[in-house]
Amino acid sequence: MKISFIGLGNMGGPMAANLAGAGHTVTGYDMAAPAPEGVTMAESSAAAAKGAEVVITMLPNGAILRSVAAEVIPAMDPGAILLDCSTVDVDSARAVAEMAAESGCSALDAPVSGGIGGAAAGTLTFMVGGSEDALARAMPLFEVMGGRTVHCGPSGNGQAAKICNNMILGATMAVTCEAFALADKLGLDRQAMYDVASTSSGQSWSLTTYCPAPGVGPQSPSDNDYKPGFAAELMQKDLGLALQAAEAVDSPTPLGTEALRQYAQFVDEENGRGKDFSALLPRLAARGR
């Protein structure tokens, strides 16, 4: 396919390189990031989108997505697909889908899970909102960039799935860190804590796949001085999006709200920016001593 890829940072760059490596023709645009291997750079986002069958975006937030969409949709051919892989608010995803439809184009919101490692390895999970027809046409690209693609329903539902999933992730990681810190102060060895909880009712992905305690369980960012696989400020962003959506539909989220408070304090007041979201553990373990 002829593809445009706009937003070539830590996630978008390797995704675009994988598409080029699979034989697709990829034209890219980014205001700062260098050209990934195999990608030809354009002078603007609109120039990159011209003539593309699929325009892929990976952008920081909903406001930037709306701005870029306003530039690229008029340059897109009728019938082309705008495939947004950013994590943004549901309203922005649906607004962009309406913009695309008005111009005779299709739109898919397809946020990802799997982090920088998954982007490089082509093993991301995509949560997709939009039409089944557009999804079927874009499926060869999802198969290059990821290992699993889930159709979540109409436009905006991909973003809804992402923020609900990450609210679970943020809350379970926070309480996992609390439990390890409590175990420390009760004199319970971390390995013993892991051996019990990982095989009983306390088991979770945050514990058994991404354990926040170094030297315990599979390799994770905690074993690399908490250098981010998923940065704390990104968890703060996703929890904020979840609570914004919850307020819009009057859905109570007391645990999600507390998780956001914990991450906001860590990032904004306790030098947590640039650290992995599992770095709540050393912060909690050091308290009260």
Catalytic residues: 162
- Amino acid at site 122: G
